[in-house]
Structure 1
């Protein structure tokens, strides 16, 4: 079921009939943000636990250029932009329906972001970001998450960071090892319920 669900949302043009549900994320600081989630996109009708953890513990600074890679309907990037209004936000996803609703959610939450449709880094050739945030589609298999890590340094300046959230026992440990191999460093910033946020710094 998990694999079928993954194949369903990791596609350019979802074939399912469109349904929408409102979801709400309530942060530890008390701030609340609402989103419209569409069927055929990741985390339909709910706030994914891993995404919530990345939102709460993302390391971003004033004026950072932040890429939400594989943004889905926009929960991670939009919430972080609301919490850190001085960042410049970029968002992309392969799923056209997800990106359409990311644009709707950005408008409804009164934030601006540059959004592009495409596979992983393909829409961002020639760009550099201070922070790349990603809740990767681990069910896609090794090739996809390896590409996320392997190509990240090409889109980061010196001092830039790749921040990835994953279940440690569901591929996260392998992802952590790959980040260490590619960047020469990796650290875990938070552990919660088997989920970890891994951060690698480009020197």
Structure 2
């Protein structure tokens, strides 16, 4: 069986490569490796998320399940006033994320964890998530709860998920956890939900 990317320390031999990404008017060369999610290039779900998310007025953002840092690398360029906390369970991926976001590392904090640590306060305007479907529904729903905990009142969780990967039930879980949930993108089996934390 192929090794799971959702692991703290991938055992598969390292074989780094450079990929090129063009999205949101940004052209980047990024380093990826075996044992990380979507090592061959920008996956379709993350591309749709990147093209949809708006962070005008946001300051503190969590890239939850950051992988090799592609979301932060792109949106940190598009929205230069944002500060980022990149979180991933995969140490190899997080090391790559440090390299790939080096041009604005002074705006980034890197955390190796399988979720948002308990000691993180409710200080974030947005959380962005392409959930680790292969890790299972319990893990994904825990990440929803983690996001709700650390968002400021009015803060937003943005999540991209395919219908075949459980978008309808994920929507129901988001509606149980957050005060309001909008479907901001729906095309070709992909959904992007924007869940907003209440003011109280």
Q: Secondary structure at the match of 1:46?
A: coil
Aligned length in residues:
196
Give distance in 2, aligned partners of 1:191 and 1:179.
Answer: 16
Q: Structure 2, unaligned stretches of length 5 or more?
A: none
Pick one of 7, 10, 14 that aligns with 2:6.
10
- TM-score relative to the length of structure 1: 0.91
Residue aligning to 2:18? 22
Give distance in 2, aligned partners of 1:69 and 1:16.
Answer: 23
Indicate yes or no: 2:15 matched with 1:36. no
Higher strand content, 1 or 2: 2
Give distance in 2, aligned partners of 1:83 and 1:124.
Answer: 29
Higher helix content, 1 or 2: 1
Give distance in 1, aligned partners of 2:15 and 2:45.
Answer: 23
CA contact 1:117–1:123 (8 Å) conserved in 2: no
User: Runs of 4 or more off by more than 6 Å in structure 1?
Assistant: none
Pick one of 142, 146, 153 that aligns with 2:141.
146
Give the direction of change, closer, same or farther, for the CA distance of 1:124–1:69 in structure 2 (3 Å limit): farther
Residue aligning to 2:72? 77
Q: Within 5 A, what are the aligned runs for 1:128-147?
A: 128-147=123-142
Pick one of 49, 70, 86 that aligns with 1:54.
49
C-alpha deviation, 1:53, in angstroms:
0.9
Indicate yes or no: 2:182 matched with 1:187. yes
Give distance in 2, aligned partners of 1:23 and 1:176.
Answer: 33
